[in-house]
């Protein structure tokens, strides 16, 4: 496994492009490897025959570990072309047999499960956490029988399909777990009357020139969010909790959560505060297309200072989105729906939308989240105000 750089010590092998027995040339792609920073293609350093692969798809491989083992390497003497052994005048003396010493179970340290080295190796090879295995040994150690019972309980049931979590889905799982584990979330939801906003949006689309994109509601929501962030800048920040400081930003680098076949990706609108609604709409479309066809660069997928996540017409009534650590806030508009309201003694139909925000309670107080949402509500309910700033 080559040294990828940037402090990476291991990578997940997400796909193999060769199999045992393949004859390949130097620089032929052999595997795809994913780190927490990027996915890269690994190539063969030599020409030869693939003898063994270092791991299965979905496994983590440390830098320096065997990735691919080759035989019949050009210019080298291999196992299939061994050097002849020198003739001997007499048989070689048989080495003395080594005594077999059965080691006792290792003592538990800091909650570590008791087990003999052999049992511990068997568990490691099988990917079993000994702490999850119920021990039956006389001294409280885990035995081979205990491992067998544990593995038996893990066998698939009738009609069960087990799918290994690898690649992008594994990264998503790890990041979401880390966010929920480390961030004390709270969510605030406000109902917003978007009748006037929808009317303005439709008029602008009817009068737009051909080169301008069709406007959805998202560019208006983003404009209102950015206006709110100017007044509550702590929303546009990264909390480096392990180092103990908050990085607060003037430019808004807005992550746009986008669903793809590989899972949720979050491309970034850089300097979103400098774009008008038409430019914002164009950038949203460009980034969404790039996320779905996997053509975005590393720079277009990193560096967000806050995030907007929207399920579009599937937006539901209320969402409580999970913060993308180390960010401290995430915004989530829900679907627009008709609602009958009483206005001056008359029942009228209005268009309403719930708008959610989830915040890191270590940095953001509930009062500030509520105040900001009320400010955003005012802009979206009287959208002309957004264009008077």
C-alpha angle with apex 135: 132 to 141, nearest 5 degrees? Answer: 115
- Unique residue bearing structure tokens 């080298």: 76
- Unique residue bearing structure tokens 């590393």: 298
DSSP H or E run through 120? helix 117-126
Name 23's bridge partners.
49
Q: Which residues are catalytic?
A: 361, 365
Predicted local confidence at residue 311, as pLDDT: 83
Contact between 306 and 330 under an 8 Å Cβ cutoff? The reply is yes
Predicted local confidence at residue 80, as pLDDT: 45
Predicted local confidence at residue 109, as pLDDT: 46
Domains plus CATH for the chain? 10-71 (2.40.50.100), 184-387 (3.30.559.10)
Contact between 354 and 334 under an 8 Å Cβ cutoff? The reply is yes
Q: pLDDT tens for residues 97-121? A: 334 444 445 444 445 788 888 888 8
Predicted local confidence at residue 248, as pLDDT: 97
Q: Is the pTM of this model over 0.75?
A: no
Instruction: State the pairing for strand pair 60-62/10-16.
Output: antiparallel
In which residue ranges of the chain is pLDDT below 70?
37, 75-111
3-class DSSP string for 319-339 = CCCCCCCCECEEEEEEEEEEE
Q: How far apart are CA 321 and CA 309, in angstroms?
A: 8
DSSP H or E run through 222? helix 218-231
Predicted local confidence at residue 264, as pLDDT: 87
Q: How far apart are CA 311 and CA 158, in angstroms?
A: 35
């Amino acid at each position: 496994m080559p040294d990828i750089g940037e402090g990476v010590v291991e990578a997940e092998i997400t796909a193999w492009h060769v199999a045992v027995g393949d004859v390949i040339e130097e620089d032929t792609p052999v595997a795809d490897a994913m780190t927490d920073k990027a996915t890269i293609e690994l190539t063969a350093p030599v020409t030869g025959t693939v003898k063994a692969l270092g791991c299965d798809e979905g496994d983590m491989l440390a830098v320096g570990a065997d990735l691919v083992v080759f035989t019949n390497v050009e210019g080298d003497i291999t196992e299939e072309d061994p050097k002849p052994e020198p003739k001997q005048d007499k048989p070689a003396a048989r080495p003395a047999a080594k005594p077999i010493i059965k080691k006792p179970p290792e003592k538990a340290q800091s909650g570590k499960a008791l087990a003999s080295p052999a049992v511990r190796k068997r568990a490691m090879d099988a990917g079993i956490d000994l702490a999850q295995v119920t021990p039956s040994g006389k001294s409280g150690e885990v035995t081979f029988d205990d491992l067998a019972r544990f593995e038996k309980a893990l066998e698939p049931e009738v009609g069960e399909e087990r799918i290994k979590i690898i690649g992008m889905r594994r990264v998503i799982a790890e990041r979401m777990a880390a966010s929920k584990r480390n961030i004390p979330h709270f969510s605030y939801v406000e109902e917003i009357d978007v009748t006037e906003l929808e009317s303005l949006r439709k008029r602008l689309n009817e009068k737009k020139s051909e080169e301008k994109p069709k406007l959805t509601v998202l560019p208006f929501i983003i404009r209102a969010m950015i206006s709110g962030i100017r007044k509550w800048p702590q929303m546009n920040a990264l909390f480096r909790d392990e180092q103990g400081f908050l990085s607060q930003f003037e430019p808004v680098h807005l992550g746009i959560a986008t669903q793809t076949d590989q899972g949720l990706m979050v491309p970034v609108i850089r300097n979103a505060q400098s774009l008008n609604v038409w430019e914002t709409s164009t950038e949203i479309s460009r980034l969404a297309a790039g996320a779905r066809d996997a053509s975005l660069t590393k720079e277009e997928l990193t560096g967000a200072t806050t995030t907007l996540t929207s399920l579009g017409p599937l937006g539901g009534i209320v969402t409580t989105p999970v913060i993308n650590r180390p960010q401290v806030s995430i915004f989530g508009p829900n679907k627009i729906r008709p609602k009958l309201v009483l206005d001056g003694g008359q029942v009228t139909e209005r268009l309403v939308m719930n708008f959610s925000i989830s915040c890191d309670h270590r940095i953001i107080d509930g009062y500030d989240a509520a105040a900001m949402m009320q400010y955003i509500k005012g802009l979206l309910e009287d959208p002309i105000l957004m264009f008077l700033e």
